């Protein structure tokens, strides 16, 4: 990769780190920066701005969990929490995790421009998080109904509605909805519900 491109990647990733840890509440910038980092796969190879050292990753998860300034030094869940309202960012995070199967990859640190390379193999494995039903729905749409997946990203449909319209989820019946509601009732609510049913009979 050209040196200038590695430096550009490092600049964007540095901005992402600063926004993520900003005490001035700049976290609203995180989703946009993160989307660019993932789309262009900047985390695979970049120059760390603060130390001038080149860093390569094969797994997005390694980049996320690597200590500052070599990574975001956070967890996938915290990253998702910051990006919660940006459905496209959530989807891209999931895609990045899916690409590597959730396994730890080899980390390469390029020591100098003469391509003297130090390899540090991380033997641990990390299980890819399954995520929420929303993320599972996005994954299903991405695989089986890309046109509806795009509608979700465009803000035209919710994940659940898109899955239903694509025929990937059935609309629950009133009885099924009622059963789920009853299961969540507290004892006093259940008693009131029983008394209400008795009045109907």
Please write the tens of the pLDDT for every residue from 65-75: 999 999 999 99
What distances in angstroms separate CA 142 from CA 121, 138, 168, 197, 199, one per listed residue?
Answer: 32, 6, 12, 43, 48
Q: Quote the pLDDT of residue 119.
A: 33
Q: Quote the pLDDT of residue 94.
A: 93
Q: Quote the pLDDT of residue 25.
A: 54
Q: Where are the domains of the chain?
A: 1-128, 132-170, 177-201
Q: Quote the pLDDT of residue 163.
A: 95
Burial label for 152, CB within 10 Å (0-12, 13-18, 19+), is buried
Q: Quote the pLDDT of residue 200.
A: 87
Alpha helices in 1-75 (DSSP H): 3-20, 30-39, 60-65
d(Cα 80, Cα 152) in Å, to the nearest integer?
17
Q: Quote the pLDDT of residue 127.
A: 43
Residues of the chain with pLDDT under 50: 101-102, 104-130
Q: Quote the pLDDT of residue 133.
A: 85
Q: Quote the pLDDT of residue 24.
A: 62
Please write the tens of the pLDDT for every residue from 156-169: 999 999 999 999 99
């Amino acid at each position: 990769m050209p040196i200038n491109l590695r430096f550009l990647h490092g600049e964007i990733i540095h901005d992402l780190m600063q926004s993520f840890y900003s005490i001035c509440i700049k976290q609203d910038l995180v989703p946009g920066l993160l989307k660019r980092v993932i789309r262009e796969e900047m985390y695979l190879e970049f120059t760390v701005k603060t130390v001038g050292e080149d860093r390569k990753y094969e797994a997005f998860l390694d980049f996320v969990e690597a200590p500052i300034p070599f990574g975001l030094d956070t967890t996938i869940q915290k990253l998702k929490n910051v990006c919660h309202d940006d459905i496209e960012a959530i989807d891209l995070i999931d895609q990045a995790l899916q690409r590597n199967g959730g396994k730890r990859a080899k980390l390469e640190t390029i020591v100098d421009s003469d391509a003297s390379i130090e390899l540090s193999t991380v033997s641990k494995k990390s299980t890819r998080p399954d995520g929420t039903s929303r993320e599972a729905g996005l994954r299903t749409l991405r695989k089986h109904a890309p046109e509806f997946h795009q509608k979700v990203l465009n803000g035209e449909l919710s994940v659940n509605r898109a899955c239903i319209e694509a025929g990937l989820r059935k609309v629950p019946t009133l009885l099924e909805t009622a059963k789920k509601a009853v299961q969540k009732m507290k004892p006093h609510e259940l008693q009131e519900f029983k008394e209400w049913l008795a009045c109907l009979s």
